[in-house]
Structures are given as structure tokens and as C-alpha cells.
Amino acid sequence: MAEAAAEIDAALDVLIPRPEGPESRLFEAMRHAAIGGGKRLRGFLVLEGARQFGVGRDSALRAAAAVEMLHAYSLVHDDLPCMDDDDLRRGKPTVHKAFDEATAVLAGDALQANAFYALAEPETHADPAVRAELCRGLARAAGPRGMCGGQMLDMLAGEAGGPLEEAEIGRLQLLKTGKLIEFAAEAGAILGKAPPQLRHAFAAYGRDLGAAFQIADDLLDATASAEEAGKRTGKDAEAGKATLVGLLGIPRARLHAERLAAQAAAHLDALGGRADLLRALADYAIARRS
């Protein structure tokens, strides 16, 4: 994953250049948000999925970088004072702290647009049907029935203060983080023009992996130090945020995450040994300490 992260950073360095002139501030803020740091789980999923189908490395890296730009934009906006109001992200000051609030709004907006631009350009794939399908998948994962919808539910749950039920929390997290992880797992199959049943297997893997990953994230928030996690921790409990960890308690939540990770790995049974790395990723998702 560290190797993949370095390759993704190199791709982002090309996709978010350092232009001359006054608007360089916007590009610097985009680079601050997108380059360096982060586990690159989503980008790694794109690359590993693409490898299963013999997709060229440059194509896969552009798609991986696009998904990471989309993810970085969501973090910049989630960290804004009017949202989660966070000062620290990936061990660095958040964009509105390092720059200012207006620049953070714009850098997030520009990262979203740039993600679609990276997918839609001919360099990403010679077949325009593949590019259109990538744009469609990313737009669905990012929009009101995906990430934005999940973040809205999260804000409303925080305001209402009442406890959410397990099914509601599951839906919130499926939208907020699950849909983009699902798309990241599916993108390699789209790039490789995989048959529908394989594409669906990767999507199902991503869905379960994303759910396991989210619980692991909430477990970290409840148990790790800010130094370990590279961001403020303990904030879910402090904000009265609804998480499965809060609802089920730490041991049962951990068990649930383990079950989801096993289920994620099982979706890739048909691929045999080729998918060992992706199966190992499911284990890593729940064992990590940051």
C-alpha cells in the first residue's frame, strides 16, 4: 500500500500542477488536501482491481487519483467550521486552518471537478464508454444518494441528538463512506471491461469492506490517540455521534467488523490466488491502528 500511495501521489502531482500567477493559491490548497498522507485505501482498491483485469498502469493510476481527489474534497468540506470543525487531518492542519475558509470551500469544489476531468479525459481509457461509465459511477457515489446524502444524515443525527438504530447507522455509513469505497472497488472492473458478474463481485466486496472499514474507524476514534490516528480522536462520543461502536459496545462492534471483513473476502472466491492482496486488505482494514 505504501508503494501504491507513492505512485498515486506522483499521479496527483501531474493532475494538480503548480501554475504561475495568483490562482496558484487554489492549486496549493488542492495539493495540501490531496497529496501526501492518507492510507490511500480507495486508490489502492482501484489499482488492485485494475490489476486483476490487466489494465494499463497509467489508466489505473489516473482513476485511482480521481477517486482520491474526490475523497480529499469530502474531507476538506467535512472539516469546515460549519461541519465537523476540525483542525487536524492526516497529521497536518486542515485546509481552512492552513489557508482560510473561502479557499477551503473552493479547493474542495475544484478537487471534485478535477476528479471528473481526470476520468473524462481520453488519457484515462481509449474507450469513451469506459470513461462515461467511470464518470457515472463516481457521480452516483459522490452525490445526494451517496456521500453528500450520508453527510447530511450525519449532520441531522448530530443535531437531533436522539439515538439512531442499528439499521439507520448502517444506512448513514453506507451512503457517507460505503458508496465511494464500493465504486473504488468496482472501478478496476469497469476499466478492464469485466463481465457483469465479476463487476458485481467487486462492488459487493467494496460494500462489505467499506462497512468493516468504517467500524474500524469508529473503533479507532474510541480507542486510539490523536497522534496514532493523525487526526483528533474521541470526537464521536464527544459530539454524541451515532456509531455502531457507541450502540453495540467495543467487543460486539469488533466482532461485527470481523464478520464483514470475512464476508468481503468471500465475494472474491472465484478469483482464487490472484485476489490474495485484496483479501489481505480486508484483514488489514480491521486490524490497523491508524
Which amino acid, residue 30? M
State in angstroms the smallest separation of the CB of 286 from a copy of itself: 28
Q: Give the CA distances from residue 145 to residues 152, 169, 173, in Å, rounded to whole numbers and listed in that order.
A: 10, 15, 12
SS3 letters across 242-269: CCHHHHHCHHHHHHHHHHHHHHHHHCCH
**Smallest separation, CB 125 to a copy of itself (Å):** 9
52 or 124: whose CB is closer to a copy of itself?
A: 124
Of the two residues 1 and 135, which places its CB atom closer to a copy of itself in the complex? 135
Cβ-count burial of 225 within 10 angstroms (0-12 exposed, 13-18 middle, 19+ buried)? exposed
Q: Compute the least distance from the CB of residue 141 to a copy of itself, in Å.
A: 8
Pick from 61, 76, 97: which is nearest to 30 by CA? Answer: 76
Cβ closest to a copy of itself, residue 160 vs residue 280: 160
CB of 152 to a copy of itself, least distance (A): 4
Indicate the residue among 23 and 228 with the shorter CB distance to a copy of itself.
23
> Closer to a copy of itself at the Cβ: 142 or 285?
142
At residue 132's C-alpha, the angle toward residues 56 and 119, to 5°, is 50
Work out how close the CB of 36 gets to a copy of itself at its nearest, in angstroms, rounded to a whole number. Answer: 18
Where on the chain is the footprint of a copy of itself (CB under 8 A)? 16, 22-23, 25-27, 30, 73, 77, 80, 82-83, 100-103, 105-106, 108-110, 112-114, 116-117, 119-121, 128-129, 131-133, 135-136, 138-140, 142-144, 146-149, 151-153, 155-156, 175
Q: How far is the CB of 28 from a copy of itself (least distance, A)?
A: 10
CB-based contact 63:184 (threshold 8 Å): no
Output the nine-digit C-alpha cell for 203: 462492488
Give 176 or 267: the residue with its C-beta nearer to a copy of itself. Answer: 176
Q: Which helix (H) or strand (E) holds 89?
A: strand 88-89
Contact status, residue 228 vs residue 90, Cβ threshold 8 Å: no
